[in-house]
Amino acid sequence: MGDTAERFKVAIVGSGPAGLSAAARAAARGMSHVLVEKAGHLSDTIHKYQKGKHVMATPSNLVLRSDLDFEAGKREAVLGTWDEQTAGHQVNVRLNTEIVSITGAKGDFTLAVKNGEPIRAEAVVLAIGTQGNPNLVRCPVGEGAVVQYQLDDPAEYVDEHIVVIGAGDAGIENALGLAADPQQRNVVTIVNRSAEFNTAKDANVKALQAMQAEGRITVLMETTARAIDKGEIVFDTRDGELRMRCDRVIARMGSAPPRAFVEGICAEFEEKNGRKVVRPGTGVQFTSADRVAYPKLSPMFESTVPGVYVIGALAGYPLIKHCMNQGYDVIEFIAGNTDLKPADEPILAAKFAPLPGGRSVDEWLALFARNIEIFREVSPLQLRELMLESEAHAFAAGETLFVRNEPGSSLFAIAEGSVLVEVDPEDSSKTVPIGQGSIVGEVGLISGRPRGSTVRAAEPTVCVELSRRAALKLLATAPAAARAVNRIAIERQLLQIFGSGLKPEDVAGLVEAAEVLDVAAGKVVIAEGADDKDVYVVRRGSMIVEKAIGGKPVFLSYLPAGSYLGEMAAIDGSKRTATVKAAIRSEVVRFPGEAFVALLEAKPKLREKALADMAGRRAVTQFIEGRKDSFGSAVDYYSETAQFLVDNGIGEATDVLLIDEKLCVGCDNCEKACADSHDGLSRLDREAGRTYAHLHVPTSCRHCEHPHCMADCPPDAIRRGADGEVFIAETCIGCGNCQRNCPYGVIRMDAKPPRKPSLLSWILFGAGPGPGEASYAWRKANAQGEEAKLAIKCDMCSGIEGGPACVRACPTGAAIRVSPEKFLRFTKLVEDVG
Amino acid sequence: MATAADDDAAFHAERRDSDHESFLLHGRMRWLKVALGLGSAAILGYVLADVDPRPNGGSWYGYLLGTLGAGLIVWLSLLGVRKRAITPGRWSLKAWTSAHVYLGLSLVVIATLHTGFQFGWNVHTLAYALMILVIASGVYGMVAYATLPQALSDNRREMTKRQMVEALAAIDRQLEAAAQPLGRVEADLVIAALGQDPFGEGAIARLTGRYRDCRTASALEALAGGDPANERVVALLRKRQAQLAQIRRHMHLRALLEVWLWVHVPLTIMLLAALTAHIVSVFYYW
């Protein structure tokens, strides 16, 4: 330590695409630098991709600005190029160097290194990504013992005694992989600290227990490792010490996200409740406490600690090209080249070109930040990023922004001008104005449902259209934007539900008193017999209504997002007549009953509508109650079937494929038709899935109202199409996130198969594999060149005349597509299915 | 308790085919009505048509029925192509199947009237006989389609065929480990059961669902309880037997659902050939 240590101009932490590119720029500029990587090789995240994985280079319109080359290709080629060019630039790399803390101030930072000399630098660039560090084994590890935190290829190991520590999904999957092939003769042991498998998926636990029953895996519960030595491991078990032969330890004990490390950089600490915490206002600050929030950054990527810069995935840019460009830019900024325009400048210039007024990119960005309410708290850098995922439009007076019932999940922000919302579908002259700075289209964003009304420009108007992903990112990182959207959304939803004649002023009291509640699946919102008087609106998710008849809960109805409930008690003061509970995780808005009643008093028309709705629902209840006496089994059957469907994800579906197994002959023509309508790959597995009373829910997309698959798509390729279908666009990079996120297992990753010979040549000459999905062997034998494995899923045969091929191609009428709100009705289920 | 936003239903209705009816009931049995109409019109025509000297395939009315019948046969045989050609468009295979069933049945009336009840040992009667056989196999298929799927579904118990086979393999591995402590004779019984292809008794076994030479069953008979190792093996053998029964029943039902096509389709091709010969010869020897 001390002044003898070399002080670098910049220390770059992390050697992923962002860090590497920054280091290469620094080297090319002759800036004194050091690139620090905790792994034994460069670019660990991409290194961890499976062998031969195709790495995509999107967005294709973004110019690459880096001293390193990058184009789409195999993992090995990409890494090879970077290794070669990093060496060529004579980048000063330190591998196997883990930074444990960063202290000091601009001009003189000290980076403490685990088991090594500290590094000193004038500036720090953090490019550590979002993966975090795997939790390490805490017991002593002896000389020569093999402990690894990752398993690339289970087939690599033969004749070994292997201990897997950690019985989460990663650990179980590794252990299963190692023991899968008895030919490898591995002796596999998996160690779980607790007495239960708390964190693993049920399917994995079952598979593990089956393997254990066959004696192919040893499972140690309530056990921790005490010491690991070459060839041996010592455990503490419930019954005392246990020694075992062990050639290799694979530790899969989860990982710590990097946020705590980042927040602790140059921070002051204080004691709070006996724990050391960061003193507020010091260290690298994040935009919010939200899990997905990013560090607060200046347009130059500088964090709230001067001299500490954050780039890459940690800054909110998951795509490789963005990362590499930022690496280049941040070094230029540190070197004083502050006039540098970001590489996305031409893209933004092209986006803004059609707008009137001839403003420059910076002028437009400044105008958006000034005029649009939800952009007020957004940094210029973040705004640039948002604009990359957004569109700017100019509308002439009278031009429509979007049309009622059109599916769309984007959010429009009015930068200049104003718009009119048509509130009455029958009469387009009835409109509500929305002014400059506000937003429209937020309902689609929150509920995932189609547009509720047509919106047109009242005057020449400039709008920013944010994609769903960009908008959600904004809401997660800018709390003020989230609050504004929330308030507007509640107000608009009320106006939409209660129909014409209402004005924002009328519902102001309700909006003021509104409270948004998160409701877990199965949780009761209203209990039958209770005498509370609140009124609720379902904002996202869906509800099921049940009534106890003869001591058993009977399913009354299904309520999708956009329904209101609980007003009966508010209006006539009666006790709750039925139980309402969440079918899936939902969001409801609660209003005090008195405020609702006051609104009804003031608006006789609304009162009439509410009373009519009430009468309609009472009729349904009475109908089912009446049936119960004469027709009890049908009512039970209906309730149970409805519950089964809700349990299988129908509650969050907008369109689902069901198979009536009283008609299905198992010909699999649905699967064949699916494959033949979509590049030769089927997106449906008929046989798999749950069945109740001969109603089968196959493995096929439910087109969820809030698609889980959309949650984390780096290129934002998953969208909702014109018929409500959730589809994957061609910009898919094959990362597999959607496949992992789908709880129904309906997304597969596969390469586009080669073209098959025509049906006629198959019928006449037996050419090719015939109708349906070709076998893997045929696809492989006939492949022309390398095709990337991309995500594929049902798109409801969008763009194909006649609609979904699975239904059209069913010879017996077993395959049907249904929407929950239509299907989950008593008459439909009992008379149609029963 | 509440009101649904009413635009959603209308929005999806356009694209969705929610009509949930079997192929037999399709379109309120539209094709049954067409077939009945066609059949009764043919009978009425047969009674009313004044043909000389007697009803005959070569009369004007005979030609009319013959053309209609031949046209129907060709169209009916195109179902195989329709099923496999997944072209865009507003067609439904269910509607095709429905029409196929009912119009196919109406052929019995139309073609029989076309013969004028004149049969002999010739290519004409051969074509007629083949047609009747095709229709008879089709009737079996229709009955099978209408009655067997429910049993198939019940037997599956939410398992795919692949899962059933995997479950069997898992039981076999456990059995192999559990049989280690057994004596020579008992172990041989288990080895014999594991070594046998439990489905390899041919087409008859598959169609009847009866497997006479099942070594799992014989092993169970020979291995009565006793010591704990024996008991464990017996328990596993029972599991294996139950798993085998499920797979065999699945294969049995699938075989019953498919076997008629092995008659229906080849006979249809033969029928088309015989029909061609019948038509060519009729015009050749005019």
Least confident of A68-72, A155-159, A424-428: A424-428
Mind listing the pLDDT tens digit for each residue in B113-124? 999 999 999 999
Cβ contacts (< 8 Å) between A812 and chain B: which residues? 22-23, 94, 97, 145, 149
Chain B, window 146-175: residues with a beta carbon less than 8 angstroms from a chain A beta carbon: 148-150, 152-153, 156, 158, 160-162, 170, 173-174
Q: What is the pLDDT of residues A207-257, one digit of tens each?
A: 888 888 777 898 998 888 999 998 899 998 877 888 889 999 999 887 767
What are the tens digits of pLDDT across the range B196-235? 998 888 889 999 988 988 999 988 888 876 677 788 889 8
Distance CA A815, CA A23 (A): 58
Is B7 close to A404, i.e. CB distance below 8 A? yes
* Residue B23 near residue A665, CB atoms below 8 Å: no
What is the token pair recorded at A433?
């104005």
Place of tokens 């000459």: A765
Record: contact A833-B20, CB cut-off 8 A = yes
Region A183-190: mean pLDDT is 89
User: What pLDDT sits at residue A526?
Assistant: 92
Cβ <8 Å between B94 and A821: no
Cβ pair B18:A578 closer than 8 A = no
- Condensed to tens digits (0 to 9), the pLDDT of residues A433-451 reads 888 999 998 876 665 666 8
- A811 has a chain B CB within 8 A of its CB: yes
Cβ-contact A722, A798 below 8 angstroms? yes
- Are A542 and A480 spatial neighbours (Cβ–Cβ below 8 Å)? no
Contact list, B161 vs chain A (CB under 8 Å): 687
Q: List CB contacts (< 8 A) between A655 and chain B.
A: 12, 16
Whether the per-residue pLDDT at B10 is higher than 50: the answer is no
A823 contacts in chain B (CB < 8 Å)? 18
Q: Is the peptide bond before A346 cis (omega within 30 degrees of 0)?
A: no
Considering only A61-70, A91-100, A289-298, which range has the smallest mean pLDDT?
A: A289-298
pLDDT: is A812 or A743 the higher one?
A: A812
Beta-carbon separation of A821 and B9 below 8 A: yes
Mean local confidence (pLDDT), A167-172? 84
CA A772 to CA A756: how far, in whole Å? 10
In sequence order, what are the beta bridge partners of B34? Answer: none
**What is chain A's mean pLDDT, rounded?**
85
Tokens describing residue A315:
């800054």
Q: Which residue of B has its CA nearest to A697?
A: B158
Which residues lie across from A750 on neighbouring strands?
A790
Q: How many residues does chain B have?
A: 286
Both structure tokens of A678: 């979509």
Question: Taking a contact as any Cβ pair under 8 Å apart, which residues of chain B between 193 and 252 contact chain A?
Answer: none
The pair phi, psi for residue B174, each rounded to 5°, is: -65, -40
CB contact under 8 A, A813 and B149: no
Is residue A2 scored above 50 in pLDDT?
no
Q: Model confidence over A488-538: pLDDT tens digits?
A: 888 888 877 776 677 777 888 888 888 888 888 889 999 988 888 899 998
pLDDT attached to residue A712: 74
**CB distance from A568 to chain B under 8 Å?**
yes
Residues 277-336 of A with CB under 8 A from B: none
- Per-residue pLDDT band at A830 (split at 50, 70, 90): low
Kindly calculate the radius of gyration of chain A based on its CA atoms and give it in whole angstroms. 30
Least confident window among A16-25, A262-271, A441-450: A441-450
CB-side exposure of A503: number of CA atoms within 13 Å? Answer: 4
Half-sphere exposure in the Cβ direction for A661 (13 Å, CA)? 22
The whole-number pLDDT of residue A833 equals 46
User: Count of A–B CB contacts within 8 Å?
Assistant: 191
Whether A213 sits inside 8 A of B174 (CB atoms) is: yes
The pLDDT of residue B90 is: 87
Q: What is the pLDDT of residue B66?
A: 95
Instruction: Compute the Cα dihedral for A360, A58, A297, A719 and give only its sign.
Output: positive
**What's the pLDDT score for residue A518?**
87
Q: How far is A162 from chain B (nearest CA, A)?
A: 22
Does the pLDDT of residue A419 top 90, yes or no?
Answer: yes
Q: What percent of chain A has pLDDT over 90?
A: 31
Shortest Cα distance, chain A CAs vs residue B140, angstroms: 14
Report which residue type is found at B97: T
Residue A10 main-chain phi, psi, to 5 deg: -145, 135
Distances (CA, A) of A357 to A348, A411, A439, A465, A767: 15, 23, 22, 19, 62
pLDDT at B11: 38
Give the residue from A176, A443, A662 with the most B CB atoms within 10 Å of its CB, the best one to mutate.
A662
Radius of gyration of chain B from Cα atoms?
Answer: 28
Question: Using the beta-carbon criterion (under 8 Å), do B1 and A655 form an inter-chain contact?
Answer: no
CA distances from A582 to A541, A564, A599, A637, A711 (A): 8, 13, 27, 21, 21
The confidence band for A683, taking pLDDT boundaries of 50, 70 and 90, is: very high
Which backbone phi and psi does B81 adopt, to 5 degrees? -80, -45
Specify whether the CB–CB gap between A244 and A161 falls below 8 A.
yes
* DSSP tally for chain B: helices H, then strands E: 13, 1
A411-416/A461-466 β-pairing: antiparallel
Cα distance between residue A511 and residue A595, in whole Å: 10
Nearest CB to B4: which of A563, A814, A817? A563
The whole-number average pLDDT for the span A300-327 is 89
Query: What are the backbone dihedrals phi and psi of residue A422, each rounded to the nearest 5 degrees, phi first?
Result: -80, 115
Residue A611, pLDDT > 90, answer: no
Cβ–Cβ below 8 Å for B81 and A823: no
Q: Work out the angle between the directed axes of helices A380-388 and A361-371 (0-180°, nearest 10).
A: 100
How near does any CA of chain B get to the CA of A822, in Å?
7
Q: Count Cα neighbours of A302 within 13 Å in the Cβ-side half-sphere.
A: 14
For residue B84, the chain A residues in CB contact (below 8 A) are 672, 759, 763, 770-771
Query: At A74, phi and psi to the nearest 5?
Result: -70, 150
Contact A661 B88 (CB under 8 A): no
Residue in B with minimal Cα distance to A676 = B86
Q: Is residue A380 scored above 90 in pLDDT?
A: no
Cis preceding linkage at B53, omega within 30:
yes
Query: Which residue from B89, B91, B149 is facing A662, i.e. has the nearest CB?
Result: B149
Residues 102-131, chain A, touching B (beta carbon < 8 A) = none
Token output for B17: 């085919």
A128 touches A136 (CB < 8 A): no
Express as a percent the part of chain A with pLDDT over 70.
95
Summarize pLDDT for B63-101 with one digit per residue, the tens.
999 999 999 999 999 999 999 999 998 899 999 999 999
* CB of A638 closer than 8 Å to CB of A623: no
Encode pLDDT of A545-585 as tens digits.
888 877 778 888 888 887 888 888 888 888 888 899 988 88
Name the strand (E) or helix (H) holding A460.
Answer: none
CB contact under 8 A, A818 and B148: no
Beta pairing class for A33-36 and A7-13: parallel
Query: Is A771 part of the contact surface with chain B (CB cutoff 8 Å)?
Result: yes
Q: Do A661 and B177 touch (CB under 8 A)?
A: no
Question: In terms of DSSP H, where are the helices of A192-253?
Answer: 202-213
Residue B16: the pLDDT is: 43
The mean pLDDT value for A26-32 works out to 95
Do B5 and A661 lie within an 8 Å CB cutoff? no
Strand pairing class (A439-440; A411-416): antiparallel
- Which of chain B's residues have a Cβ under 8 Å away from the Cβ of A215? 177
Comparison of pLDDT for A99 and A600, the residue scoring more: A99
* Residue contact B1–A214, C-beta within 8 A: no
Q: What is the pLDDT of residue A827?
A: 55
Which pair of structure tokens corresponds to residue A681?
């790959």
Task: Tell me the pLDDT of chain B averaged across its residues.
Answer: 88
Read off the pLDDT of each residue in A796-809 and give the average, rounded to a whole number. Answer: 90
Residues B135-153: tens digit of each pLDDT: 999 999 999 999 999 999 9
* Nearest residue to A421 (alpha-carbon basis) of A361, A344, A502, A343: A502
B chain contacts of residue A796, beta-carbon cutoff 8 Å: 15
Q: Closest residue of B to A705, CA-based?
A: B8
What residues in A contact B240, CB-CB < 8 Å?
A: none
- The type of residue at A346 is P
- In tens, the pLDDT along A636-666 reads 777 788 888 887 777 788 888 999 999 999 9
CA distances, B69 to each of A541, B56, B113, B276, B281 (Å): 56, 15, 10, 13, 17
Torsion sign across C-alpha atoms B188, B194, B195, B201: positive
Residue B246: both structure tokens together: 């499920």
b/e sequence A158-183, b meaning 16+ C-beta within 10 Å: eebbbbbbbbbbbbbbbbbbbbbeee
The whole-angstrom separation of Cα B2 and Cα A469 is: 32
Q: Which H or E run contains B73?
A: helix B60-77
What's the CA dihedral at B139, B141, B145, B148 to 10 degrees? 110
Q: Which of A526, A694, A821 sits opposite B8 (nearest CB)?
A: A821
Query: pLDDT at position A389, please?
Result: 80
Residues on chain B touching A673 (C-beta within 8 angstroms): 86
Q: Is some CB atom of chain B closer than 8 A to the CB atom of A617?
A: yes
Q: Does B20 touch chain A (CB under 8 A)?
A: yes
Distance in Å, alpha carbon of B41 to nearest chain A alpha carbon:
28
